[in-house]
Structures are given as C-alpha cells and as structure tokens.
Chain A
Amino acid sequence: MNIFYKWPFRFISTRYLGAWVLLCIIFSNPLLAASSETPRKIAFVISKASPAYQQVVTGAEEKLLGQSSVYSFDGMLQGADRKIDQAIETADIIVTVGAGATEAVVSKGPSQPVIAALITDSAFSAIAEKYYASRQQALDSGLSVICLDQPVKRSIELSKMLMPSASNVGLMLGPASLPRLEEFGSHVSNAGMNPILVAVNARDNPIKVLEPAIKRADVFIPVPDSRLINISTAKWILQLSYRYKVPVVAYSRAYLKAGALAAVYTSPENVAQQVSELVAEVVNSEEGIGLAHMPAYFSVEFNTNVAEHLGIDLKDTEFYLERLND
C-alpha cells in the first residue's frame, strides 16, 4: 500500500482510484497493440482528478476510439512531472484539461502539438503571456486552445427568448472583456434590445457600480472576466437581481445554482466532443494547430425556483437549444 503513495502515485488518491483503473484499462487496450498501424499517442494531462475533468478525458477517448485512426492514450495529473516529461518525449499530441494542467505542460516547453481545453479565455491569455510573452506567440508555437467561455451572443439570444418583452439588457464587463464593449453592445442591439453596459474593476465598490444598471435593466448578463472580477461581483449581482427582480442569465452552472435564472455554459461532454474532433483534425491534417477555438458546443439550464419567483414561463431546454443552435 505504501508504494501506491510513492511518486508518481502520490498524486493518485484512493478517492479516484476507480477512475484511474478505468483509464489504465483503456490505455492498455491489447487491440490497439495488435493493429498494424502505429497508434498515435495522445497524452491527457488533467488539473484535478475530479469527475468533470475525467469526463472530458473519457468522453474524448470514447469518441476518438470510434474513429478510423489508431490511438493510444496516456493519462496523468498535472503534478506528475516525470510522466509529463515522458509524455512530452513520446506523445504525439498532448491534451491539457484545465488551466493548471496547461501551465504544467506549457512550462516544460513541449515540441509536439498541445491542445488546452477546459480553460477560460482569460486564464489562457494569462498563461500565454507568462510563458510565450503573448497570446499570439503561444498560438504560433503550436499551442491550441478550446475556450471555455461561451459567446455572449448566446446569452443575449437566450435572454430574448426567455423575456421577449425585455427591452433593456444589462451587461457587466470587466477589464478583460471591456475591449469587446462595442461588440457586445451590437449584439444586444441586434437582438432588438437596449444595452446597459457597466464596467467594473477591482477598485470599485461593485454594488454602487452595478446597482444602477441592474435597477434599470430587464435582464442582466454578467460577461465572464478574470476570476477576481467574477467572484467579487457575482454575490452582489445576484442580491441586486433578487432585490430588483431582474433575471440574470449567467455563463456557468455554478452561477445558475447561486441564483441566476438561466445559464449558457460549457459542459464536460461539450468539451470532450470538441477535443476529440480537434485531435482527429490535428492527426489527420495537422489543421487546427495554433488556433484559439471558441466553444463549438454549449449547454443550457434553468433555475426553476427563480423562474417561478420572477413569473417566467419556461419551455423545454431542447426548445431553447434548438433555437440557439439555429
């Protein structure tokens, strides 16, 4: 038992032992070895051994196995440096799941293509600036990214569908999203509503900044920004929305559970699907390398308690998904 906790296993807690066993079985599939084609080695590096991260890996693998190419998979946590080093030497493609895993791989300067998944745009930008001086240089170095942040346009469209009579849409922007102020404004306008844009920075009292906007808005959409801005504003956005009965259409499931009316977010399955497609694309045509990919898939979910409180009639989720996909 003690050896299990020795490096590299010290990162494998018994809590996730079942998942690791599954990964090992998958990665050591004898059918792959028996194939005549040399398998492409795909190394997955995850930030946490949590179910969401594992779902991304397993989902991607399942989808890749169903394709024509032959793959071999290897999985590791972000702290398993030796294994990561080995993967950097032997793997054909490295897929990082989470910001921590991305930084762990990027910090070692891999030469093969690296796909960063399950990472916010702001986090990717921060890592890119840290290790590649700029976001663009990182992309140029073969670092691909599948951003986690859903396009604000989807939230605006969902808002319109939920509250067709809404005329004023409040949008909170942070330092990272502020440059796209006009873009967001045009989206709102295109949807037939008036944008109420409010920018928040770290020094402001968010209540004092947000309250006037929320007070005026019919629906409020917080735009994902840096973690600091997101955390410091979320509590007050929700309280103010409660006070002024203004529905919030959020960008994460956690936001939804905290009190938002609806959320357009990226689920692990959405990420796995997009990762598998990008891996196959890279393997087959080496396209997609060095690009920042927006999330191709999304999920929608509602807080029925909030909806009842606000008197909003909800339809089936599929209804909204279809509309949004259109």
Chain B
Amino acid sequence: MTKMGFQNRLNSIHARLLITGLIPLAMLSLVLGWYMISSQSKELLSNMHDTGRVASNQMASSAEFALYSGNQEMLRTLGDSVLDIPSVSGMLFYNSADRQTVRIGDIDISIEQMPADFDSGKPFFIDDRWYFYSTITLQHRSVEDYDELGEPVSEKLGWVLVSLTNEILLYKQRRAIFGALIVITLGLLVAAWISMRIGRSISRPLEGLTQVVEVMEAGGLESLASEEGPLELRKLSYGINQLATSVKQSNVRMQSEIARATAQLQITLIELEDAMEAQDQFLARMSHELRTPLTAVIGFSKLLSTELDDRKRDEHLRVIERSSTMLLTMIDDILEFSKAHLGGFTLEEINFDINQWLRDTMAIHQQRADEKGLEFTLDLGEDVPSQLCGDPVRLTQILANLINNAIKFTDKGFVALKLRCQSIEDDIVTLECTVADSGKGIAAEKIPSLFDPFSQEDTSINRRFGGTGLGLSICQRLAQAMGGDVTIESTVGQGSNISFSCRLSVARSEKSESDAASTLAPAEQLLKGVIVLVAEDNPFNQKLIVKLLEGYGATCMVANNGLEAVELADELHADIILMDLHMPVVDGVAACESIMQQSGDSPPIIGLTADITQAEHQRMLSAGAICVQSKPLDEVKLVNAMLSSLSDQRQVSEGFEGGLLASVMPVDELKAALFDNLDKLETQLSAGEKSSLRQIIHDLMGLCGLYGMSQLRELVLEFRATYGTLNMPDNLRKVHEIRQHIEDFLSSKASQPPAG
C-alpha cells in the first residue's frame, strides 16, 4: 500500500513538476555552492600566500641593515612586528653563508627538512605550515652625479624564512564552507518552495480537472470544471466543459432517439407478431380453401363414374376441369399475390362467353349452396354483352371468392349473384358484379380491415368458416387491375352486398374460346424448316416435345443432358434450342452459358422448367435464355415464343387450351410413362432409398405439366413436400393415390373426343 502509494504520488504530475523544477535548481545550487567553496578556498589560500610573500619580502627589505650589521636585536624587533600578523607563526634569518642567524616565534625547521628548491621563491607546505622564502639583498646606489659605470651590482646578504600556520586558513575555509552550505541550503529551500508553488499552481487545476472528468466518466455530466490556473489549463477546462455539455446534449438526443426507435421496434414487433399470426392463420386456412375446388373435382369425378348420361357426363367433366383450373388459378393467385407487391397482376386478353363462365362458376358452388339449403341465384343483366374480351379466369376468381364467402357466412336465406353493365364506351364495358347474401353481416368497423392480406373479421371466423383471409385482398387487387374496385355494404344480422366493378372489352370476333379451341389445329406448318435442338433428359418428355414440334413442321435434334446439348450446338446447326433446366451431367443453366459463349451468333434458347419460382426463371434468363416457359407447357405459348424468337410474324391462334400431350401424345403412352415413374418411386420407397426420389418426382411433375394435369401435379407436389416426414406405408399410400388419380384422370380423358 505504502509502495503503491509512493509510486502513485511519484507518478502524479505534481511530483513530476516538483522534480522537474527542483532537480535543475538543486543542481544549480550545488554547482554554485561548490564553486563558491572552491573559489573561496582558493582565494583564502591565495590571500595567505600573499600575506606570506608580503611578510617575507617586507622582512627581507627591512632586515637588510640589521643583517648587514649583524644586529640580532634589530632582527628580533623586526620579527616581532611581523608576528602580529595572525597567520605568521615564526621566521628564521640566515646569512649569506646559510648559517642561521636569528629564530623568531614558533618555527622549527632546518635546511635539511626543506625541499631542494626552497629558494625558488615558491611557498612550500610542511607539517601544517606554509613557508615563504625571501632573499635579503644589499642594494647599493650610486651617489655620484656623473657616474659613467652605471648602477652598482647588488649583493646577497642572506635570506629569511617566514612560516604561516595553516590553522587559520582551515578555520577560514570551514567558515567559508559553512557559509556556502547555508547559502546552498537556503537556495535549495527557496528552490523547493518555488517548485512546489509552481507545481501546485499547475497540478491543482489538473487534479480538479481529473476529478471532474472522473465524475463525468461516472455519468455526472452536470459537474463543471472550474476555469482557473494557467491559460492552457483554463482553455482545457473550457474545452472539457464544452465537451460535457455537448455529450449531455447528445445523450438527451440519443435517449430520445432510442426511445423513439424502441417504440418503433415495439410497433414493428407487434406488426410482425400480427403478420406472423396472420400468416400462421393463412397457412392453416390454405388447405381448407384448396379443398373447395378439390371437393368439387372429387365429387364430380365420383358422379362421373356413375353417370350414364353422356350430356351430364360432359357437364361433370367440364365442372371438374373448371374446378381444377380454379384450383390451379388459386394457387397461382397466391403466388401472384406476392408478385403483386412487386409488379401487379398480368391479365390475359382473351375472348370468352361470360354466360358460360358464370354458369360454370355457379355450378361449382351450387353443391355447397344446396348442402346448406340456400337459394343460389344468378341475375345477369340483358345489357351485358355475352362475348367479352379479358381475363375470364380472374373475373370468375373474384366471383368465386365472393360467392364462396357468401355461402360460407350464410346459414339460411339466399346468395345472389347479379351482373349489370354500368357503361359501354368505345367497346369498353364496365361491369358491376354484386354478390348479395342474407348472412350474419359484417360490422362496419371491421370492413376496412377485410381488405388487409391474411385478415378476417376475427379469428373465430377462421375456425368456423376457414378461408385464407387473402380472398378479399386479392379480389380488390384484381378488381383494381381490371380498372375497378371492391365495395362492401353490410348490416350485421341482415346480410352483405359485396360489389366490384371491372372494365372489359367487347370481343371483336364472334367466335368464342370454345369455338376457337375446336377449330385450331397444330398441324400448321409454322415451323417448317426450322431445326430445333431439344435438350431434355426425360425420354418421354423428349418424345412428347419432338412430336409436338414435328407436327408444326420443325426438324428436331435431341440432347439427353446439358453436355450433349453443348456439343450438338457446337457441332451442328440449330435454329433454336429448347433447354430443360434440371438435367444430369450439366444442367440447363450451365449449358446455356456455355452455348452463349461458343460464338457470337448462337441460336436463341428457350428455357423449360417445372419450377415456378421466379429465381429459377431469372437464372435461366441470366444464363442467356431469351425466355422461359413453365411446365406444364402451353403449346400455344411455346410455339409463339419460338416464332417470336425466330423473328417469325406467324403466330398460333390464341385460345388453345390444354397441355402439349393433349394434341400429340397418345394416352396409353403417357400412362405407361407415368406408371413407369410411379413404379420407380415405389421401388425406391420400399427399399428405403431416397437418393433418386427428387429426380423421379421432377420427372413426374414434368409429365404432369406437359399434359396439363394440374391436379396430379399438385398431388406430386404435396408428396414431395411430405414424403420426408412420413413413414414408408403412408408414402406408398400416397403413391397409390397418385396412381389412382392418374388412372381416373386418363380414363376420363380417353373418353373425351380429341381436342384437335
């Protein structure tokens, strides 16, 4: 503690300043003191030497007469007078023959004890005494006025040796040292005092600053440093105060921003939780919503198997087809709903018979309405043109959604569908469609939130009635995409009127879609002379696509994987390439990139994929494909895309429905191909091998797409999503269901007349 405390004190700025100031001053005082002592000692010694020299010289000159006359008494008298000088202790007189003549005072030294050069005139020191030698000379002077021989020669009479005691010198030196020490001590004390004063004048404000900074560091930004001391420290204090004020203000700002951000985060969290809850509810509802058309399909399929009347069988088949289409459309809608956030819906522009589409829609829901004992009516205004141009699927999607909701929320009474023509201007028809019901109604305050995605009036609705909560939102967006909007009028306990408006065109051609479909033929020689490279790993798909394109007059080459496609494109000429995305060895994306890098005039590439994600489409486009066709392939879209990429103005007529297989592949071959894959699937599942399952499922999906078997495709997709979580018997059961579905579907297809 003591050592640490000493070190801390030594490290303090006060101690350092003290040391910095004190050491030079102490050194200076010591040097000056040493110089004073040294110089005074020299001065004292010099003075003593001078005294000795003067005394000896004076004695030598005074003793001339006495020594010459041999008057010892006179010599003693002279000597005694010199002994009055404190330092002089004694003297000796010698004659010219170096014989001692007179001894005066305290002196006892013989010539033998003296140094050899004692007569050189330099003082010598023996036994604490200094001795000074001086020659006694008889100096004659001429007393003749005209002396031509010059001054007479002097004569040595003898010499005198004067001794001086060293005690007085030492005494004086001690006094000088003492005096110097007093001066040094006083100097040091003054220096220490000055250093301390200066050090304190600097360190105290600094210590104050340090304390203030420590307080600030602990959060006490209210305390301010006192601006005192030297100018620099005052500036520093001012700067620290300014800094503290700035930090304080920043803290206030920061706390305010943190509070705001926290509040925002809480809001966001709540919104996120709401969104998560809504999404969970949506996912829970999805399966229920999908069941509606599925139930129709299944139900009518059962009726179809027992119905003998051909007309009713056709009617059932049409309902089944419409329900399937609706189901597919719903799924697409959900996907497109997400797209709508980015770019909105893409609406078709096709001619259709509004009456037919409305009847089909009614038929889909008729069964459920009947089950609830509701009166389900259609009121189609006479002013509504029967042939319109637009997107009938989207239109009936809105109607089906509203009807579905109406039936769902109405326990008794009626559900009525009413269409009116608001206006017709320049072949633009503005329709107003209203679905009225006598259901429980909607509270007025709940109506605005009904248009929010994944929202329903309350969560209990979902439990009771199901639904995605997406319907009204999609309806609104669809209506808005078609130039209209959705409005809701409702009274709780009395029912609701949900209306929407939309803008459609009056069809220019008198032929309806059904007519067009019946008259169109794929045998047109639109692709005559065109060499097509088909890159498809699935043999069945290869055969299907080749047959389709040959029907349009094209010449086809086949590549079983991406690598072969690249090699063929390099070696042989192809006018266009159809490139499947998922292929072994080299996939479609890599093959596409390689072909594009081969030469500058590579043929146009059209991507084919069963993957509906936008990311996969984008990958193909990025690799160089000019467009991507989704499986199930639409024959018309495919051919038109090929013609477009070949800069051919010819186009296949619109309105042709169904997959490629519908026109080119015999049912038996398709069935064999599907069953072949199902067999592989069962084998893999039985063996517990799941490594090839994805490839088999991919092939199945491709076949489904090619043939337009949307229900089958959904079944396969469901299987793909769940097979990892199910056990082998359940998976085999699912495969059996798929097999059964194919059996039923192809049976019903085989019974239909060929589309072409």
Min Cβ gap B141→A in Å is: 6
Residue of A48, A255, A266 near B148 (CB, 8 A) is A48
> Does A87 touch B at the CB level, under 8 Å?
no
> Does A120 touch B at the CB level, under 8 Å?
yes
> Does A253 touch B at the CB level, under 8 Å?
yes
Residue of A205, A227, A239, A253 near B145 (CB, 8 A) is A253
| With A98-B146, A231-B152 as contacts: A208 and B141 at CB distance below 8 Å | no
What residues on B are CB-neighbors of A231 within 8 Å?
Answer: 140-143, 152
The reply to whether B148 and A208 contact each other, CB–CB distance below 8 Å, is no
Measured CB to CB, the nearest residue on chain A to B146 is: A118
What residues on A are CB-neighbors of B68 within 8 Å?
Answer: 205, 207, 236
Min Cβ gap B416→A in Å is: 161
What residues on B are CB-neighbors of A99 within 8 Å?
Answer: 148
> Does B149 touch A at the CB level, under 8 Å?
yes
| With A207-B68, A207-B69 as contacts: A265 and B140 at CB distance below 8 Å | no
Chain A 47-78 per-residue mask, 1 if CB under 8 angstroms from chain B, else 0: 11000110000000000000000000000000
Chain B 77-112 per-residue mask, 1 if CB under 8 angstroms from chain A, else 0: 000000000000000000000000000000000000
Chain A 28-60 per-residue mask, 1 if CB under 8 angstroms from chain B, else 0: 000000000000000000011000110000000
| With A98-B148, A231-B152 as contacts: A205 and B69 at CB distance below 8 Å | yes
A181 to B138, CA, bound (A): 30
> Does B232 touch A at the CB level, under 8 Å?
no
Measured CB to CB, the nearest residue on chain B to A118 is: B146
> Does B147 touch A at the CB level, under 8 Å?
yes
> Does B65 touch A at the CB level, under 8 Å?
yes
| With A207-B69, A231-B140 as contacts: A254 and B148 at CB distance below 8 Å | no
What residues on A are CB-neighbors of B141 within 8 Å?
Answer: 231, 234-235, 258
| With A98-B148, A100-B148, A227-B149 as contacts: A207 and B65 at CB distance below 8 Å | yes
Chain B 140-160 per-residue mask, 1 if CB under 8 angstroms from chain A, else 0: 111111111100100000000
CB neighbors of B among A253-267 (8 A): 253-255, 258, 265-266
Min Cβ gap B74→A in Å is: 10
Min Cβ gap A36→B in Å is: 39
What residues on A are CB-neighbors of B152 within 8 Å?
Answer: 231
Residue of B69, B143, B146 near A52 (CB, 8 A) is B146
The reply to whether A252 and B65 contact each other, CB–CB distance below 8 Å, is no
> Does A148 touch B at the CB level, under 8 Å?
yes
Measured CB to CB, the nearest residue on chain B to A101 is: B148
The reply to whether B142 and A148 contact each other, CB–CB distance below 8 Å, is no
A98 to B144, CA, bound (A): 12
A84 to B225, CA, bound (A): 112
A246 to B149, CA, bound (A): 30
What residues on B are CB-neighbors of A227 within 8 Å?
Answer: 142, 144, 147, 149
Measured CB to CB, the nearest residue on chain B to A250 is: B143
> Does A230 touch B at the CB level, under 8 Å?
yes
Task: Tell me the interface secondary structure of chain A in the complex.
Answer: helix
A82 to B141, CA, bound (A): 35
Measured CB to CB, the nearest residue on chain A to B152 is: A231
The reply to whether B148 and A52 contact each other, CB–CB distance below 8 Å, is no
Min Cβ gap B73→A in Å is: 13
What residues on B are CB-neighbors of A232 within 8 Å?
Answer: 140
A236 to B147, CA, bound (A): 19
A189 to B149, CA, bound (A): 36
A118 to B69, CA, bound (A): 35
Measured CB to CB, the nearest residue on chain B to A56 is: B146
Min Cβ gap B127→A in Å is: 37
The reply to whether A254 and B69 contact each other, CB–CB distance below 8 Å, is no
Min Cβ gap B90→A in Å is: 27
The reply to whether A230 and B143 contact each other, CB–CB distance below 8 Å, is yes
The reply to whether B143 and A258 contact each other, CB–CB distance below 8 Å, is yes
What residues on B are CB-neighbors of A52 within 8 Å?
Answer: 145-146
The reply to whether B145 and A265 contact each other, CB–CB distance below 8 Å, is yes
Measured CB to CB, the nearest residue on chain B to A232 is: B140
A208 to B144, CA, bound (A): 23
Min Cβ gap B145→A in Å is: 4
What residues on B are CB-neighbors of A255 within 8 Å?
Answer: 143
A108 to B284, CA, bound (A): 171
Which of B142, B145, B149 is most buried by chain A, counting CB atoms within 10 A of its CB? B145
Query: Chain B contact residues (Cβ within 8 angstroms of A): what range?
Result: 10 to 19
What residues on B are CB-neighbors of A53 within 8 Å?
Answer: 146
Chain A 220-239 per-residue mask, 1 if CB under 8 angstroms from chain B, else 0: 00000001001110111001
The reply to whether A230 and B144 contact each other, CB–CB distance below 8 Å, is yes
A207 to B157, CA, bound (A): 14
Which of A53, A99, A207, A235 is most buried by chain B, counting CB atoms within 10 A of its CB? A235
| With A227-B149, A231-B152 as contacts: A252 and B144 at CB distance below 8 Å | yes
What residues on A are CB-neighbors of B144 within 8 Å?
Answer: 120, 227, 230, 252, 254
What residues on A are CB-neighbors of B138 within 8 Å?
Answer: 235
Chain A 99-117 per-residue mask, 1 if CB under 8 angstroms from chain B, else 0: 1100000000000000000
What residues on A are CB-neighbors of B147 within 8 Å?
Answer: 227, 254
A258 to B65, CA, bound (A): 16
The reply to whether A235 and B149 contact each other, CB–CB distance below 8 Å, is no
Measured CB to CB, the nearest residue on chain B to A271 is: B146
Chain A 194-222 per-residue mask, 1 if CB under 8 angstroms from chain B, else 0: 00000000000101100100000000000
A260 to B472, CA, bound (A): 161
The reply to whether A254 and B143 contact each other, CB–CB distance below 8 Å, is yes
What residues on B are CB-neighbors of A100 within 8 Å?
Answer: 148
A234 to B144, CA, bound (A): 10
| With A98-B148, A227-B147, A231-B152 as contacts: A254 and B65 at CB distance below 8 Å | no
Chain B 49-84 per-residue mask, 1 if CB under 8 angstroms from chain A, else 0: 000000000000000010011000000000000000
Min Cβ gap B79→A in Å is: 19
Chain A 16-34 per-residue mask, 1 if CB under 8 angstroms from chain B, else 0: 0000000000000000000
A47 to B142, CA, bound (A): 17
CB neighbors of A among B325-353 (8 A): none
What residues on A are CB-neighbors of B139 within 8 Å?
Answer: 235
A24 to B61, CA, bound (A): 48
The reply to whether B143 and A47 contact each other, CB–CB distance below 8 Å, is no
Which of B69, B148, B149 is most buried by chain A, counting CB atoms within 10 A of its CB? B148
A23 to B658, CA, bound (A): 169
Min Cβ gap A58→B in Å is: 16
A17 to B308, CA, bound (A): 182
The reply to whether B69 and A208 contact each other, CB–CB distance below 8 Å, is yes
A255 to B141, CA, bound (A): 10
Chain B 708-727 per-residue mask, 1 if CB under 8 angstroms from chain A, else 0: 00000000000000000000
A235 to B157, CA, bound (A): 14
The reply to whether B142 and A254 contact each other, CB–CB distance below 8 Å, is yes
Measured CB to CB, the nearest residue on chain A to B71 is: A207
A194 to B404, CA, bound (A): 190
A208 to B142, CA, bound (A): 21
What residues on B are CB-neighbors of A236 within 8 Å?
Answer: 65, 68
The reply to whether A47 and B148 contact each other, CB–CB distance below 8 Å, is yes
| With A98-B148, A99-B148 as contacts: A239 and B65 at CB distance below 8 Å | yes
Min Cβ gap B100→A in Å is: 20
CB neighbors of A among B119-152 (8 A): 138-149, 152
Sample 30 A-B pairs with CB under 8 A, ordered by A number: A52-B145, A52-B146, A53-B146, A98-B146, A98-B148, A100-B148, A118-B146, A120-B144, A148-B145, A148-B146, A205-B68, A207-B69, A208-B69, A230-B142, A230-B143, A230-B144, A231-B141, A231-B142, A231-B152, A234-B140, A235-B138, A235-B140, A239-B65, A250-B143, A253-B145, A254-B142, A254-B147, A255-B143, A258-B141, A266-B145
Interface residues of A (CB under 8 A from B): 47-48, 52-53, 98-100, 118, 120, 148, 205, 207-208, 211, 227, 230-232, 234-236, 239, 250, 252-255, 258, 265-266
Interface residues of B (CB under 8 A from A): 65, 68-69, 138-149, 152
12 more CB-based (< 8 A) A-B contacts, given A99-B148, A231-B142: A207-B65, A230-B143, A231-B141, A234-B141, A235-B138, A235-B139, A236-B65, A252-B143, A252-B145, A254-B142, A254-B147, A255-B143
Closest 6 CB pairs of A and B: A255-B143, A234-B143, A207-B69, A252-B145, A254-B143, A231-B152
